[in-house]
Chain A
Amino acid sequence: EPEVTQTPSHQVTQMGQEVILRCVPISNHLYFYWYRQILGQKVEFLVSFYNNEISEKSEIFDDQFSVERPDGSNFTLKIRSTKLEDSAMYFCASSTTRRTGGREQYFGPGTRLTVT
């Protein structure tokens, strides 16, 4: 069964450093997403991406964040200058179409980001 994969599973970085979190969505999916979950809190939407551009983003997704689909398989989240409060579990998700069914999003296993 196809699944979303993410690397690395755990990333430790120092405050102020740049990090790139990587995801390989399900191969025939068209929509890609990033969510995060701070320990003890709800899963929060960050950004959705379709046709090589951002469809929607939350207030959390400020200028420090960016997303990219550098090739036909990878989807990345970059945080330019990490802050302590960026420590969280980051989930990538993908879905097929937005209107004609297939609105369910399939999540990867997550990357735990620890900023020290």
Chain B
Amino acid sequence: GESVGLHLPTLSVQEGDNSIINCAYSNSASDYFIWYKQESGKGPQFIIDIRSNMDKRQGQRVTVLLNKTVKHLSLQIAATQPGDSAVYFCAEDDTGGAAGNKLTFGGGTRVLVKP
């Protein structure tokens, strides 16, 4: 269940450092955004979400920032751990929740945590 993609951008980070993963979205009508983590052989795992009426949301060790002006989304992971090594996807939804939602995924970023 991994996105193997030969052209997948990779972020190498030292254990304990903070990670920032960026995502540019294309649809200005999107009102809901999610970050997913995908480990090898598994399905996408929900990390955190944010609605378009917010610009920042914090979770446990993670923060999502939304800049609607430039259509940019980022995920910050504090004190990155070896278990954070995975492929991270952003996804957007422009349905307004009116039709059961339809997520459009980005291409993904591979995060490698060095011990």
Contact = CB atoms under 8 A, between A and B. Distances in A.
A107 B44 contact: yes
A33 interface: yes
A29 B71 CA distance: 31
A105 B43 contact: no
What class of interface size applies to chain B in its complex with A? Answer: 20 to 34
B100 A50 contact: yes
Interface of chain A, main secondary structure:
strand
B106 A105 contact: no
Interface in A1-50: 4, 6, 31, 33, 35, 37, 39-45, 48-50
Contacts of B45: 107
Given A99-B97, A106-B46, A107-B44, A37 B3 contact: yes
Nearest to B51: A103
Interface of B: 1, 3-6, 32, 34, 36, 41-46, 49, 89, 91, 93, 95, 97-108
9 residue pairs, one from A and one from B, having the closest CB atoms: A55-B100, A48-B100, A107-B43, A43-B105, A110-B1, A98-B97, A56-B99, A107-B44, A55-B99
